[in-house]
Structure 1
Amino acid sequence: MSDLPFGFSMPNDPDDESGRRSGDSGSGAGSGRPGGGDSGMPDGFPFGDPQQMANMLRQFADMMSSQPAPGASEAGQTSSASGINWDMAKNIARHAVSQKGDPSVPPADYARIEEALRLADLWLDQATDLPSGLQTAQAWSRSEWIEKTMDSWAQLCDPLTAKTVQAMGQNLPEEMASMAGPLLGMIQQMGGMMVGQQAGQAIGELAREVIGTTDIGLPLAGEGNAALLPSGVARFSEGLEIPDDEVRLYLAAREAAVHRLYSHVPWLRSHVSRLVEEYAAGMSFDVSGLEDKLGEIDLTNPEALQEAMSGGMGPEGLLQPEDTPQQKAALARLETTLALIEGWVATVVAKAVSERLPQSGALAETTRRRRATGGPAEHTFAALVGLELRPRRLREAGALWSALEEARGVEGRDAVWQHPDLMPTGDDLDDPDGFVHGRSEFEGADFDISSLTEPDGSEKPKPGEAEGKSGEDKKDGD
Structure 2
Amino acid sequence: MDIFRSVRTVTGASGTGYVDWSAVADAAKDGTAPGELTLTDAEREGYATDVRDARDRLRRLGGVEFDLPETVEIQNRHHWIDANVDTFRRVMAPMEAKGPEVLLPDVSRVVNTGTCTLLLAFLGRNVLGQYDPLLLAEADPADREHCLYFVHPNIVSVADDLDVSRPRFRRWIAFHEVSHAAEFGAAPWLSTHLETRLERGIDGLVAGDLDREAFRELDTAMTAVEGYAELLMDRAFDDDYADLRAKLDARRQGGGPVARLARRLLGLGLKRRQYERGAAFFEAVADARGLTGASAVWDRPENLPTDAELDAPERWLARVDGA
For this structure pair, what is the TM-score category when the shorter chain's length is used for normalisation? 0.7 to 0.9
Q: Specify whether residues 107 and 208 from structure 1 end up closer, same or farther in structure 2 by C-alpha distance, changes over 3 A only.
A: same
Match of 1:333 in 2: 217
Task: Check if 1:225 corresponds to 2:153.
Answer: no
1:154 deviates by 1.8
Task: Check if 1:198 corresponds to 2:132.
Answer: no
Match of 1:130 in 2: 64
3-state SS of paired residue (1:130): coil
Match of 1:148 in 2: 83
Match of 1:347 in 2: 231
Match of 1:119 in 2: 53
Q: Which of 101, 106, 113 lines up with 2:39 in the alignment?
A: 106
1:199 deviates by 0.8
Taking the aligned partners of 1:238 and 1:220, their CA distance within structure 2 comes to 31
Q: Which of 372, 380, 384 lines up with 2:262 in the alignment?
A: 380
Letter in 2 for 1:84: V
Contact (CA 8 Å) 2:58, 2:182: kept in 1 or not? Answer: no
Taking the aligned partners of 2:63 and 2:11, their CA distance within structure 1 comes to 46
Match of 1:404 in 2: 285
**Which of these two proteins has the greater Rg computed from alpha carbons?**
1
1:284 deviates by 8.6
Match of 2:297 in 1: 416
Contact (CA 8 Å) 1:137, 1:225: kept in 2 or not? Answer: yes
TM-score normalized by the length of structure 1: 0.55
3-state SS of paired residue (1:151): helix
Match of 1:462 in 2: none
Letter in 2 for 1:229: V
Contact (CA 8 Å) 1:166, 1:188: kept in 2 or not? Answer: no
Runs of at least 5 residues in structure 2 that lack an aligned partner in the other structure: 1-6, 136-143
Taking the aligned partners of 1:346 and 1:373, their CA distance within structure 2 comes to 23
Q: Specify whether residues 255 and 196 from structure 1 end up closer, same or farther in structure 2 by C-alpha distance, changes over 3 A only.
A: same
Task: Check if 1:69 corresponds to 2:9.
Answer: yes
3-state SS of paired residue (1:213): strand
1:378 deviates by 7.9
Letter in 1 for 2:317: V
Letter in 2 for 1:131: E
Taking the aligned partners of 1:243 and 1:388, their CA distance within structure 2 comes to 26
Match of 2:320 in 1: 439
Runs of at least 5 residues in structure 1 that lack an aligned partner in the other structure: 1-66, 170-183, 286-321, 443-478
Contact (CA 8 Å) 2:155, 2:170: kept in 1 or not? Answer: yes
Taking the aligned partners of 2:268 and 2:196, their CA distance within structure 1 comes to 14
Letter in 2 for 1:69: T
Alignment map for 1:38-437 (pairs within 5 Å) = 69=9, 83-97=18-32, 100=33, 102-108=35-41, 109-134=43-68, 135-159=70-94, 162=96, 166=99, 169=102, 184=103, 187-214=104-131, 218-219=132-133, 224-283=146-205, 326-353=210-237, 356-357=238-239, 359-366=240-247, 377=259, 379-380=261-262, 383=265, 390=271, 392-437=273-318
3-state SS of paired residue (1:131): coil
Taking the aligned partners of 2:29 and 2:75, their CA distance within structure 1 comes to 13
TM-score normalized by the length of structure 2: 0.78
1:95 deviates by 1.6
Letter in 2 for 1:141: N
1:112 deviates by 2.9
Q: Specify whether residues 127 and 229 from structure 1 end up closer, same or farther in structure 2 by C-alpha distance, changes over 3 A only.
A: same
3-state SS of paired residue (2:148): strand
Contact (CA 8 Å) 1:373, 1:390: kept in 2 or not? Answer: no
Letter in 1 for 2:195: S
Q: Specify whether residues 415 and 440 from structure 1 end up closer, same or farther in structure 2 by C-alpha distance, changes over 3 A only.
A: closer
Q: Specify whether residues 401 and 212 from structure 1 end up closer, same or farther in structure 2 by C-alpha distance, changes over 3 A only.
A: same
1:143 deviates by 0.7
3-state SS of paired residue (1:227): strand
3-state SS of paired residue (1:226): strand
Question: What fraction of aligned residue pairs are identical, expressed as a percent?
Answer: 20
**Greater Cα offset, 423-432 or 198-207:** 198-207
Letter in 1 for 2:221: T
Taking the aligned partners of 1:426 and 1:371, their CA distance within structure 2 comes to 27
1:436 deviates by 1.3
3-state SS of paired residue (2:18): coil
Letter in 1 for 2:67: G
Q: Determine which structure has the larger helix proportion and give its number.
A: 2
Match of 1:464 in 2: none
Letter in 1 for 2:301: P
